[in-house]
Structure 1
């Protein structure tokens, strides 16, 4: 068979598809690894940025603390102290016109205080000068705290405009002494009022330390007494300390580095405090990026951005005016992603090939070859040939035996079916004749029932009041409409005039069809009979009518009953024309009373009667009420088929909508009012099925 001949092609295509899937998986893993590597670098970069920023914030806070301590001291000491040991320990070199704190009191050591050195004389100075000296010496306590908080700090000091400096850690004046050259450094000049009107903490550019500790940067703040500038407090970091903050970055192929304007402040490979010059930032970037360096530095994005084969990330510190920068080549990221992905793929690929080869061998031996033999065996059995079961795996032998057994049984069944078909054809012919006769009987029965229903429907229509009868009613304009939901309806209405007596009735018999139609005819006949016998009392009239319906329903073994409302109309006589009186009895839907101006009133009939046919005697339930009609006043009578008419959204028409339509059209004739209501009901129902009879009666006083 073609399937078995093409098996090798199918397996080859399967192998190719699996290899493509494996290649796709490799690419997705490689792409994911590439993105993860960039994400890891960024996360490590931002973590290191926060760490360095925290250290710089700590330094800024300590400088601010020194400033506050110095200014508070001056506020709390309006006059020079008289018993300050360190102030008394200052020694003056009259020949050099300098002073220092080289000789410490016995209660102090070099780890507790800094050395205060200055130029000029200590004698005959102003009180404010001595207060400032005392303030500078008081800062020694802050110096010790800073050394504890920020280990490896280079220097902490106060530089006064009165030509002295208090510097910590303590250093001999022979090694470092105040000189006016200090006033040219940024740690002093950037604190001057003209350069720092906001009196805030500031950071300097990198510079070479006067005391010999190499390249460093400084955080400083101006000190004021009221509005008078006194000097600056400062602390120094060597660039090696900044380098230490960059050590052990997770990705060491290219190091992190810190820049400030055009200065390279920290770089583990390029910057050292021992350098004699400050390197420019160009030295930290590869040659390929040098032509576009200005564009790279002006890029404001906070995320990785790609430029000429390199991924670059550059973010600013919050607490210092510096930037942390890192770049890595696209090739490096590719290699990292490839090496981390390829090992798994190199294991996966041979595994797929081996699995495919094993699957090919096993499927040929255990499935393809036995299946091919089984197909040949089935073809031989189908042709009626006697075959021997070939050598196949044990699991397949049962299939061969089952096929042989099935074909033997099939041949036996075919013979039996041929005999059975012959007898079945005779049985079918016999049953067909019986069904034909039964259909003829059903057709005749349907015609008979259809004739009966049509006869009943015509009887219903025949006994309804005619238009000329309604026109002949003195004092009232009357319009009516009735439409059954089936061939025979269960709604009833009538307008009768007998010997000057006008009786109007409307009712709704439960259910539809022939049984309801017959009951409707009974009611109409009974009403006419009672009226002909001049029964005018509404209570006796209703109770007698109920008894007739009750007895007939019981005789019919029917569960039907009906709601019925009867109205007796009496027109005014003589000169008082245009008025009339209605007496109502019986239980039915609400009556809609409409005044000549279109105002609508709804009258509940629940307490005026009881459904007919449920109880033998309803005399105690029947009551009567009257309505006076002026010219233009009228009533709207209806069955529940109108308010309960539904559309496809299962929304009922409702009495409220009926009242609205009637009120809107009341100025028209009764026929026009009737047509407007029915048109609105049909518009509401649209193309949905009508499930109940619809009856409407409009009465208007002439």
Structure 2
């Protein structure tokens, strides 16, 4: 009886320890999973903020470009667009109107507004010409940058041009409270720094969900007006909504507390542009608490989860607000049944093992002890049979881990990555004195590893770059952006091409844990000497289309690719340029394109295509070469990124 009681006590203690261990393991697992959920949410919000920051940065970069183009146009340095007298007329009551059937090439979606007398019209002719010159850039931005809804120029001389807009919409900007508010925001009385500013919500007359980024335009020290890009709040809200969170939601808050984006605004009574305090009381309190947190700090006290990520390109804050109890409830529902199943299985196993042990060992041992005590000796048949051993067993219950492969969301993120990659490449052709440059790129995948760039080093020199990163897809795209940033920084220092490639090679090779590499051609065009000084890091040598239609290949230098050989040197060579010459820089995606029959396009066909573009402008030459490759490869999948850049010296007058 004592043996049986001790065995029952040991079995009960074992069961209590089993239950305590299972409960402790469940609590530990729940705590670790909750922290993992927080880290996953924080990482997701960081990716989310990076996308929104890139979009805001693209708008900011374009506004600076428009400000610079407007400044130089106002100063008479750059003249773009149609002639004023062939484009704009003074209509009834002094209204400015586009001339019907005029010689000016005005985009059909553009509009002009203003009331100007005859004398005043002559006074503003130069400024009006500058504003008309911006229309083509407006159309380019609105067409290719989905976050830009509208672009316009507002003048202190009481006229405005806008795209896309109707005449009545342009007049509403000029005659309503918006135009004066925009001019006041960048006027020298308010801000003498001449820096671009962001306005949203309460910053604008009437509030609402309008968001604008604008910059002042000066001619020397005289304030002329403002260039304005209006952000598409629908696109901004759609991008914000593309990032779905299992628990909680994100919202974009402006500098003055305006609610700029809310993923479920179409389903709830949420007014974009209104202060975030108009949200439901609990949500508004959580947002206000999140805005007091340090940047990228996660807080999970109480019933709410809060996280804030402040953008760099715009005075906006991305705020995440979630229900902590919902996270814990989800974890309990996910892992509670598994723990209960484990306890149930181990309980059944313990009961079975205890019952078998008691039947096969404890009870026979107890009967043996009682028999010996009662008989005092072993009988002729010996003691009752006791099994030699008993065998315990355990059945392990494995936990099931969730894995969610959401391919649709991945494709959406890759598309945003492609938009980001396109936004870092030069959007506008470069026109500087007699030189014009244009680039084209068609990635083989959503994102690619090719890139091109061109930039002014000083008033005489312009840098041109084309490069091809090993591989394709997201890794190649990231390596591409790093290489482009380093190369442009080195080029703007004014050093020669060889020294620039040596510096970039050393920087890339020192941190190249993924063993990637890049081929680069970098040249500097000197307009005063009409020469090209270049260095070639393992890239295809460019082709020169001369004014007479002759095509010849630029001399290859045989230097190594970048990011592989530490301390590699790169030689320089010089090429004389003549009026009418066009220089084609390209990647092997053009020459190594295949037809449906498996035939390679090759350099001879590219040479013939380039010769066929004789006399064309830079954009026409680039488009002609790309079109020749596309026509050749009809019916075959694009196997590599196709990128080219054309720099052309205008023919002599």
Matches within 5 A, 1:445-484: none
1:115 aligns with 2:111: yes
- When residues 149 and 373 of structure 1 are mapped into structure 2, their CA distance, relative to the original with a 3 A threshold, is farther
Contact 1:156 1:234 in 2 (8 A): yes
Deviation at 1:33, TM superposition (A): 1.9
Determine the C-alpha separation between the residues in 2 that align with 1:336 and 1:92.
Answer: 68
Question: 1:20-50 CA deviation, whole Å, 9 max, x = no partner?
Answer: 1001011111112222222222222222122
**Equivalent pair of 1:186/1:204 in contact (CA under 8 Å):** no
Any conservation in 2 of the 1:91–1:101 contact (CA below 8 Å)? yes
**SS in structure 2 of the partner of residue 120 of structure 1:** coil
Q: Cα distance, 1:52 vs. partner?
A: 0.9
Once the two structures are superposed, what CA deviation does each residue of 1:136-166 show, in whole Å capped at 9, x if it has no partner? 1111232133124421532111111122112
Q: Which runs of 5+ in 1 are unaligned?
A: 398-702
Note closer, same or farther for the CA distance 1:84–1:311 as it changes in structure 2 (3 Å cut): closer
Change (3 A) 1:369 1:156: same
2:351 is matched with which residue? 357
Contact 2:82 2:133 in 1 (8 A): no
1:392 counterpart (379, 382, 385): 385
User: Equivalent of 2:87, from 89, 112, 121?
Assistant: 89
Please identify the structure whose Cα radius of gyration is greater.
1
Q: Against the structure 1 CA distance between its residues 106 and 390, is the aligned structure 2 distance closer, same or farther, given a 3 Å change threshold?
A: farther
| Greater mean alpha carbon deviation, residues 266-275 or residues 344-353 | 266-275
Aligned match for 2:261, one of 266, 272, 275 = 266
2:201/2:208 contact within 8 Å kept: no
CA contact under 8 A between 1:257 and 1:326: conserved in structure 2?
A: yes
Q: CA deviation at 1:385?
A: 4.5
Deviation, structure 1 residue 184: 5.1
Task: Tell me: CA distance 1:279–1:393, structure 2 relative to 1, closer, same or farther (3 Å).
Answer: same
1:251 to 242, 245, 248: 245
Cα distance in 2 for partners of 1:114, 1:12 equals 86
Q: Report the Cα offset of residue 366 of structure 1.
A: 3.8
Q: Residues 96-150 of structure 1, C-alpha deviation per residue, up to 9 Å, x if partnerless?
A: 2111226365784745x622332203556456x3222121111123213312442
8 A Cα contact 2:84 2:125, kept in partner: no
- Distance in 1, Cα, partners of 2:296 & 2:362: 62
CA–CA separation in structure 2 for the residues paired with 1:20 and 1:229: 77
SS at 2:193 equivalent = coil
Match of 2:12 in 1: 12
User: 1:400 maps to what in 2?
Assistant: none
Contact in 2 for aligned 1:102/1:172 (Cα 8 Å): no
* Pair 1:320–1:122, CA change in 2 (3 A): farther
Correspondence for 1:29: 29
Deviation sequence 1:284-337 (CA, Å, 0-9, x none): 2534865x9866644445312246532222232211112222222332222122
Pick from 163, 166, 169 the counterpart of residue 158 of structure 2.
Answer: 163
Distance 1:7 1:273 in 2: 64
2:196 aligned residue (198, 201, 205)? 201
RMSD over equivalenced CA pairs, Å = 3.8
Counterpart-to-counterpart distance in 1, 2:269 and 2:193: 35
- Matched with 1:529 is none
* TM-aligned CA deviation for residue 19 of structure 1: 0.5
TM-score by length of 1: 0.49
- Distance across 2 between alignment mates of 1:102 and 1:274: 46
What pairs with 1:622-633 in structure 2 (closer than 5 Å)?
A: none
Q: Which has the higher helix share?
A: 1
Residue segments in structure 2 that go unaligned for 5+ positions in a row? 391-653
Q: Kindly indicate whether residue 223 of structure 2 is the aligned counterpart of residue 229 of structure 1.
A: yes
Distance, in Å, in 2 between the alignment partners of 1:264 and 1:332 is 25
Partner of residue 125, structure 2: 130
Alignment of 1:18-417 (within 5 A): 18-75=18-75, 77=77, 84-85=82-83, 87-93=85-91, 95-101=92-98, 103=100, 105=102, 108=105, 110=107, 114-121=110-117, 125-126=121-122, 129-151=124-146, 153-169=148-164, 171-177=165-171, 179-181=174-176, 185-206=180-201, 215-251=209-245, 254-260=248-254, 261-270=256-265, 278-287=273-282, 290=285, 297-300=291-294, 302-306=296-300, 309-372=303-366, 385=378, 387-390=380-383, 392=385, 395=388
Per the alignment, do residues 107 and 10 of structure 1 end up closer, same or farther by CA in structure 2, a change over 3 Å counting?
same
Contact 1:67–1:233 at 8 Å: present in 2 too? Answer: yes
Partner of 2:396: none
Kept after mapping to 2: 8 A contact 1:311/1:329: yes
Q: Residues 67, 272 of structure 1: CA spacing in aligned structure 2 closer, same or farther, 3 A cutoff?
A: farther
Distance 1:318 1:139 in 2: 27
How far, CA to CA, are the matches of 1:31 and 1:275 in structure 2? 34
Distance 1:396 1:217 in 2: 81
